[in-house]
Amino acid sequence: MQINASHHRVHEKQPYRTWYHFQPPQNWMNDPNGPMYYKGVYHFFYQYNPYAATFGRHMVWGHSVSYDLINWIHLNHALEPSESYDINGCYSGSITTLPGEKPIIMYTGSDTRKHQIQNLAMPKNLLDPFLREWVKHPQNPVMTPPSGVELDGFRDPTTAWQGSDGKWRVIIGAKNGDEGKALLYHSEDFVNWKLHYNPLYASDSTGMFECPDFFPVYISGTKNGVDTSVQNSSVKHVLKLSYQNKQQEYYLVGEYFPDQEKFIPDPDLGGSCMDLILDHGMFYAGKTFFEYGKNRRILWGWSKECDTTQDDVEKGWAGLQGIPRQVWLDKSGKWLMQWPIEEVEKLRDKHVSIMGEKLVGGSTLEVSGITASQVDVEVLFELPELESAEWLDQSEVDPLLLCSEEYASRSGIIGPFGLLALASEDQAEHTAIFFRIYRAPNRYVCFMCSDQSRSSLRQDLDKTPYGTIFDIDPNLKTISLRSLIDRSIIESFGEKGRICITSRVYPSLAIDKDAHLYVFNNGSQSVVISELNAWTMKKAEFDQE
């Protein structure tokens, strides 16, 4: 039975509601759950509070379906608290497709005592193309917190994978104090699960590993994805963990040895590479799925609001999902690449381009002729000789500090250069997404930042700037930036998807027709806009069944 959702009307003037990023009609949404492609239909489930625009005690699994991952039909909730084992919330989980094309949800229930336990649910009718109704398994719960794990720190099952011995394996996120654990369970029948004596991975200072995700990636550098159960010499494995203490998405690339149930992360990347983080901005609880038809692995992630709870209540909603991203292992074998799924390009409408335009130091150029509040923009910058870059003493570098303090407006040598998105005409409001290149002993490094500090004249917002530093090829001639701008979200992809940063912003002037988009260069060396293409984005369709 469907919970009677609150009919709080979403505020009429909604400059921050997105045109093409997924959101339900109203109320609070957080983690993506159980994404899958099944018989021609994409399913997307999500943590949802049907009663309010804030997180609540009775979280349900919202459910929407799509034929293209861009236009969606919202359905009734797939799971709602109803039994003693999930009465305090149906929390995050995943879907595995069992032999005979039978999808099964494993999700965390918060029980009568708020202990976290794992449960199963199956579609009521496999012939329903939208799999609208889900039935909870009679043997729930199938896992309860083992010893050495906190009773409310045992959640978020991954998609399961099957070993060559035919057994299913699944990871459950867990914690004990500051210790995070990726617990591994085995099962012959998906119902009776046995804890493996060692966690697949553990750390001592991260806090809870929320929303783990574990999947193989080809080492050849191809963009093709691979099924979660594949294990052979052509793949490495990625273990993605949402560190609760840091509220950020970390991942490890390494070797998985199923016989010993060991995952050994590759040794330190060395150089100036920081920890591997999926997205340096507001992007959390990510989850991937493999799509057979198009042979790709797709990542979803939740982008939380940075305004106040009061704002959310007034808006009547909170939470967005990033545009789904294709993920693959870079040909270096060291990090993941991410790129918005090609389907988003269907929404591209009015197009403008700039070719071969030199941007001298201190200059700004408007990208006019588009609706700058919802844009897909791709720009390729031609760089000057890297030898001219300024020196950086890396021991003193904190990228976040460097990105802040209106760093984009200060002059350097090669950069800062990039985009001013959602800018007011006088540029008093803008979000600067930019690069700056430095020399370091034996190498060159690049900063990429997304700086919200001037994103709004409003004072009561979280405007923390985001950024990172990464090594670049000393022969690098060009660097690329793509931003998906959508009213209150800017997803940016640097260097063809090597670095991703998602920002949430709430301009007070730069809204609707009053938003502008600029390219800028504050480095003393000129950079050339080798090619820039920008498209106004059409509205995606979100229908309620």
Active site residue 31: yes
Minimum distance of ligand DQQ from residue 17's CB (angstroms): 22
Minimum distance of ligand DQQ from residue 197's CB (angstroms): 24
5 residue type, one letter: A
Catalytic residue (one of 31, 279, 376, 486) = 31
The SS3 of residue 479 is strand
Report how far residue 204's alpha carbon sits from residue 176's, in angstroms, rounded to the nearest whole number: 9
Q: Which is nearer to ligand DQQ, 109 or 225 (CB)?
A: 109
User: Is the link from the previous residue into 141 a cis peptide, with omega within 30 of 0?
Assistant: yes
Contact partners, residue 139, CB within 8 Å, separation at least 6: 120, 191
Minimum distance of ligand DQQ from residue 150's CB (angstroms): 13
Contact partners, residue 406, CB within 8 Å, separation at least 6: 451, 453, 454
Structure tokens at 506: 């709430």
Q: Which is nearer to ligand DQQ, 16 or 91 (CB)?
A: 91
DSSP state string for 135-172: EE-TT---B-PPTTS-TTSEE-PPPPEE-TTS-EEEEE
Reference 518, options 539, 505, 532; nearest CA is 532
Minimum distance of ligand DQQ from residue 366's CB (angstroms): 39
Phi-psi sector, 57: left (phi>0), alpha (psi -120 to 50), beta = alpha
CA distances from residue 303 to 117, 238, 307, 354 in whole angstroms, order as listed? 26, 22, 12, 31
Phi and psi at 464, nearest 5°, equal: -50, 125
Q: Which is nearer to ligand DQQ, 422 or 489 (CB)?
A: 489
Q: Which is nearer to ligand DQQ, 176 or 533 (CB)?
A: 176
Minimum distance of ligand DQQ from residue 14's CB (angstroms): 24
Q: Which is nearer to ligand DQQ, 136 or 175 (CB)?
A: 175
Minimum distance of ligand DQQ from residue 459's CB (angstroms): 27
Q: Which is nearer to ligand DQQ, 53 or 344 (CB)?
A: 53
Q: Which is nearer to ligand DQQ, 284 or 470 (CB)?
A: 284
Rule CB under 6 A: which residues touch ligand DQQ? 30-31, 47, 59, 91-92, 108, 155-156, 210-211, 284-285
Phi-psi sector, 497: left (phi>0), alpha (psi -120 to 50), beta = left
Reference 298, options 251, 341, 331, 333; nearest CA is 341
Minimum distance of ligand DQQ from residue 504's CB (angstroms): 16
Report how far residue 83's alpha carbon sits from residue 67's, in angstroms, rounded to the nearest whole number: 33
So which residues are the catalytic ones? 31
